[in-house]
Structure 1
Amino acid sequence: MTRPFVKRHPETCGPTPQRRRLGLLALLPALALLAGCAGNNGAQNAAAGKIPDGTIVMHQVQAAFIGSGNGGDGTLTYQGRTYPFVIGGLGVGGIGASTIDATGEVYNLKSVAQFPGSYVQGRMGYAFGTESHGDLWLKNDAGVVLHLAAKRTGLMLSLGGDVILIQMK
């Protein structure tokens, strides 16, 4: 007995062009995450063995659901003077919402004019109520590196990368 030829529906025969595109789009956040983590290593390496040129204190609010957004302000202390700034950024990786209070060191800063600009940030951390841990490394195009210890408050799991814009007030 022979089986009659049955024409299969294209959606049941494997990936369609639309499914392939969706699969590629799903890979974009993973690639951005890897790029953010790679930026983290570059910032760490640029600061390795160096004495800080300044210090930084900042307060930030962050919200994430795969993509993330943040904003806040802070102060840079450099050569005995204090300089206020504002920050904002977008990124990928994480889920939740938190506030971040961070302090840290500034490396490779030769003048205050090098401080503002776009920074690449590799981040990892968590917040559960007031219990938190976080470590932030940021580097801009001028080679300025920020290493921040972050205290988070909220409910957040964070692992990924961001581009942050720092502007002087």
Structure 2
Amino acid sequence: MMLSTRIRSVAIAVIAAGAVSLAGAAHADSGTIRFAVYKAAFFVGGSGGEGTLTFQGRRYPISIAGVSGGLAFGVSKTYFQGTVRHIRRARDVTGVYAAVGGGGAVGRGAQMIILKNDKGAQLELTGKQVGLQVNADLSGMAITVK
């Protein structure tokens, strides 16, 4: 009898915890993001740019800053666009995003990347790159909602 009461209590606790986590996920929303990034590198690189986050029918200006290190050289401009997932408010996009990757472009090239920040915001981006850029590096990007 005592065992079935404990099992029932544990089952109720698990169901309640699951309901709370689903309720939190249900309130998360998504938006779109579009920005341009200029990048210059010779082993250590820097990047910067700006763009727009569209979330719940409103547009928010954003700024981009970044650094990279590794095998990287060249100058390029990349136009990114995509979806932002798992955010509850526009400010959830603010944060640092890291990536390890490689690629290159002579003239024109294409990129696709998925990034996450510490608040759980996930960026699913595609981009078109123009310029001369070769890289195999670790890079970080900070996005700020103005």
In which range does the TM-score fall when normalised by the shorter chain? 0.7 to 0.9
Q: Which residue is 1:125 aligned to? A: 103
Unaligned runs of 5+ in 1: 1-51
CA distance in structure 2 between the partners assigned to 1:124 and 1:152 by the alignment: 13
* Percentage of matched positions with identical amino acids: 36
CA distance in structure 1 between the partners assigned to 2:33 and 2:112 by the alignment: 14
Question: Structure 1, residues 99-149: CA drift from partner, whole Å, max 9, x if none?
Answer: 0111111111121121112121334432211x2121222211101111111
Q: Which of 67, 79, 85 is matched with 2:62 structurally?
A: 85
- TM-score between both structures, scaled by the size of structure 2: 0.73
Considering only CA atoms, is the larger Rg found in Structure 1 or Structure 2? 1
User: 1:82 deviation in Å?
Assistant: 0.9
Q: Which residue is 1:147 aligned to? A: 124
Q: Is 81-90 or 115-124 further displaced after alignment?
A: 115-124
- TM-score between both structures, scaled by the size of structure 1: 0.64
Contact preservation (8 Å) 1:98, 1:155 = yes
Mapping for residues 25-40 of structure 1, pairs under 5 Å: none
Q: Which residue is 2:22 aligned to? A: none
- CA distance 1:77–1:124, change in 2 (3 Å): farther
Give the secondary structure class of the aligned counterpart of 1:114: helix
CA distance in structure 1 between the partners assigned to 2:42 and 2:112 by the alignment: 20
CA distance in structure 1 between the partners assigned to 2:102 and 2:58 by the alignment: 30
Q: Which residue is 2:89 aligned to? A: 111
Q: Which residue is 1:60 aligned to? A: 37
CA distance in structure 1 between the partners assigned to 2:88 and 2:78 by the alignment: 27
Q: Is 56-65 or 114-123 further displaced after alignment?
A: 114-123
CA distance in structure 1 between the partners assigned to 2:35 and 2:79 by the alignment: 6
Unaligned runs of 5+ in 2: 1-28
CA distance in structure 2 between the partners assigned to 1:153 and 1:115 by the alignment: 26
Q: Which residue is 1:163 aligned to? A: 140
Q: CA RMSD in A?
A: 1.8
CA distance in structure 2 between the partners assigned to 1:147 and 1:122 by the alignment: 15
Give the secondary structure class of the aligned counterpart of 1:108: strand
Give the secondary structure class of the aligned counterpart of 1:143: coil
- CA distance 1:87–1:60, change in 2 (3 Å): same
